[in-house]
Every structure is written in C-alpha cells, then in structure tokens.
Amino acid sequence: MSGEWFANYVKAPRHPGKGRVIRALLGLLDGRRLPSVYGPLMTVRSQDATNRFALLGTLAEDYRDVHAQIMAMAPGDCFIDIGANLGLFITVASRHLGPEGRVVAFEPNQTTFADLAGNLAANNCTNVVTVCAGVSNVTARVAFDPGPAGHSGIAQISESGSSAIMVLGSQQVADLILNVAAGRRITIKIDVEGHENQVIEALMPLLGEAQVTKMIVEVDPDNLAQHGTARETLFARLAEKGLTPSVNDPMRRHYNEVFVRA
C-alpha cells in the first residue's frame, strides 16, 4: 500500500476520537514511511513530536508559512536549509524545484541526519547536497544538546550540551553554497533554536550577493537571548545587506520572519 490513505485520513474532517486513532496508527507504523500532509514520504518516529508535526501539519503556522515560501520559488532555483531536521522542507523543495534546481541541507545531529538521508532516498531526491554539520561564526567542534528523546526539533548548540557537533564558519559555508547554487537565485531558511544571529554572521560574506533573494528566519526573542543576541541585532545585520523583513511584527514571540531583497 502506498500510504496515501493515511494522509487522506489526516486531512479529512475531524470526528470524535480521531486524534487517538492517528496516535495509534503512528505507533503501529513506527519505522515505516508514510506520506506527510505536505506530500513527501517520511519515516515515522511516533515518539518524536517534530516527526508528528511534519507528518500531520500540527504546527500549522510554523510549517505552512515555510512551505508556502518554498512553493513560491521558481523551478530551477536553489534552497538552503540550515537546521533541516528530518528533511521535510528539503524534500518539498527538491520536488518543487525540479531536476535543474539545487538544494543544500545542514543538519548536525547524526541521529536526525540519518533519518534525513533516508527520507531523501525514499523520495528519490537527487538534486540535494547534505552536510552533517551546523553553521556558526567559527569553524569548530562545539557542545550540543540533542534535546529530549521526544522532541528532536529543539536540539541546539549549548555550552551545557551532553554531546558535540561540528559547525562550519563563514568562508566554508559561503563557498559551498555559491558552488552548489552556480548562479541560481537562492532562498535560505534558518531554524536553529536561538543560534540564528551566529548563523547570519557566518553568512554575511554571502548575503551581499544579489542572487540571495529571500531568507526565512525563525525569530524567538527568548531563544535568541539564550545565545547572547537579540531580534534587533538580527534585523540590523540583514538590513546591512539589503534584506528587509516583510512581516515585522515585534509583538509576536515566535514566528518565521521572511526577509526579501530590497
């Protein structure tokens, strides 16, 4: 069976007990691949909240807005995902951008990266470059908190982390992206649980390039503060490079800001 029945059931009107049925189905199908409501096949990790969000579209605002920005890209463009997790948006972009498009995924958590690679293979994504590393303002090995077993999406760089990852600094990242993009228009997504300013600092040599037309950046003042930075710093750095926020709602405590080339 293709599994399309699952996505169709998730999208169908609610009924009493539907949530319990879905949770039971995910438990029974753990480790199998099912189509997400966004289209791509995903390996089921029923105990992982982030996996459920990707399969079910539970975090509608956080997911649909990124999905909409990818779908607004033109076939043949280049999409960069820094903090790719299980690869939902990578697989969506790979399919949408087509064989002439290019995609780059950065995911430092080795366990999560293994599922990302499996999801790419299951969806026959042949236009994707994967990097098992993070991005930061230096190239180094840093402490990393993989987060609770039930929520891979809140893994983050942390001095108190129980493990370690590699992060790549500015010149390595810029060279990699420009080489893969090869003149294509570039959209960059950053979702790194508060480390966004350090990633933007690493990208600064690249962000002045006219081919970088859009950035989708998670903005959460509390997470940013834990990494010693603030929303205002993030906005100011991107303004230096001619990237202007299109949402710009300081009252929102957690959302994806979309910066566009002025």
User: What domains lie within the chain, and their CATH numbers?
Assistant: 60-261 (3.40.50.150)
When pLDDT is averaged across residues 224-242 and rounded to a whole number, the result is 95
- Tens of pLDDT, residues 71-103: 999 999 999 999 999 999 999 999 999 999 999
pLDDT for position 59: 66
CB 116 within 8 A of CB 86: yes
pTM: 0.95
Percent of the chain exceeding pLDDT 70 equals 98
When pLDDT is averaged across residues 166-174 and rounded to a whole number, the result is 91
What is the rounded CA–CA span in Å between residue 214 and residue 252?
Answer: 21
Candidates 171, 238, 178, 180; CA nearest to 205 is 171
Contacts of 92 (CB under 8 A, 6+ apart): 38, 39, 40, 67, 70, 71
Classified as helix, coil or strand, 135 is strand
User: Token digits for 249?
Assistant: 């709602």
- Tens of pLDDT, residues 103-140: 999 999 999 999 999 999 999 999 999 999 999 999 99
Using the predicted structure, report yes or no on whether residue 1 has a pLDDT greater than 60: no
Using the predicted structure, report yes or no on whether residue 249 has a pLDDT greater than 90: no
CB 44 within 8 A of CB 146: no
CB 105 within 8 A of CB 121: no
pLDDT for position 4: 86
Question: Cα torsion for 178, 230, 68, 44, to the nearest 10°?
Answer: 90
Share of the chain residues as helix, strand and coil, in percent rounded to the nearest 5: 40, 25, 35
- Tens of pLDDT, residues 34-63: 999 999 999 999 999 999 999 998 866 778
The count of C-alpha atoms lying within 13 angstroms of the C-alpha of 117, restricted to the half-sphere facing its C-beta, is 11
Using the predicted structure, report yes or no on whether residue 70 has a pLDDT greater than 90: yes
pLDDT for position 109: 94
Candidates 218, 257, 221; CA nearest to 239 is 257
Using the predicted structure, report yes or no on whether residue 8 has a pLDDT greater than 80: yes
- Tens of pLDDT, residues 173-191: 999 999 999 999 999 999 9
